[in-house]
Copies of this chain bind each other. A is one copy, B any other.
Amino acid sequence: MRDILVRALERRDRLSQEELDVIAALPHRIDILPPDTDIVLEGDNPTESCLVLSGFTHRYHIVENGRRQISAVHVPGDFVDLHGFLLDHMDHSVGTLTAAKVAFIPHSALRAVTETQPHLTRLLWLLTLVDAATHRQWLVAAGRLPALAQIAHFICEMHARLAIVGLTEGDSFLLPISQATLSDAMGLSPVHINRTLQDLRRTGLISWHGDMVTILDRHKLEKLGQFDAAYLSLVPRPR
């Protein structure tokens, strides 16, 4: 657990030895969960927050007619449920997409960190700010980009975020997400996702076979999706 969290934090700022020790000493339990398993449900008031060690997870919301909107897809290294630390009453559910290894850290331990480690606290805070920035990017894509560009943006984002934790091989990465899931993330219909993905493949921007995605023309894909990784705050600097 220590390593993957340190890795995420060190992409944003240097950590002191004391901070490394504090992180290493964080109490936690590790759980291995099957695919499509709920971790936290909307309305819950959890007492621990989860961090993804491996596998893909997501935040989602169910609306009245049973439709679903995914508001975030999380990859290994993401402190998925850090929001639940201060929010009472979860406004959304969190669940696995694939089988996942997840670490649960008691809120009491996080609170202790905030009491004694101001700099580390700011970095944890920053992680949630990056989540918020990502939400904004999705909003822009959903509101003002056509489906083709919206999906292009998503693929660029996934590549950038998986690269942080070494889960890319050049321009390729595993993205174990069905078209139905993608449609819930993009707010589109599965049929339209299918046709739009075909477009992206036909025009030679990506290939996607099984779970293996390859960005064939990064420049064009980023331009199409108007992707700029700056919102991920991946430049280490004093915070």
Identify the A interface with B (CB < 8 A). 43, 59, 61, 63-64, 67-69, 71-72, 83, 86-89, 91-92, 111, 114-116, 118, 121-122, 125-126, 128-133, 135-140, 142-145, 186-188, 226, 230-231, 233, 235, 237, 239
Contacts and interface: CB of A to CB of B under 8 A. Distances in A.
A122 B188 CA distance: 36
B237 A88 contact: yes
Given A83-B129, A133-B87, A61 B187 contact: no
A61 B140 contact: yes
A122 B117 CA distance: 12
Q: Is the interface of A mostly helix, strand, loop or mixed?
A: helix
In the A-B complex, the 10 residue pairs with the smallest Cβ-Cβ separation, listed nearest first, are A143-B187, A135-B135, A91-B231, A132-B132, A71-B136, A69-B140, A69-B144, A86-B126, A69-B143, A61-B140
Contacts of A129: 83, 86-87, 128
A233 B87 CA distance: 7
20 contacts: A63-B144, A63-B145, A63-B226, A64-B226, A67-B144, A69-B139, A69-B144, A71-B135, A71-B136, A72-B136, A83-B129, A87-B126, A87-B133, A89-B235, A111-B122, A114-B121, A118-B118, A121-B121, A128-B129, A131-B132
A84 B111 CA distance: 23
Given A63-B140, A71-B140, A126-B86, A133 B226 contact: no
Nearest to A71: B136
A128 B135 contact: no
A102 B115 CA distance: 31
Contacts of A86: 122, 125-126, 129, 239
Contact of A136 (B61, B68, B88, B116): B61
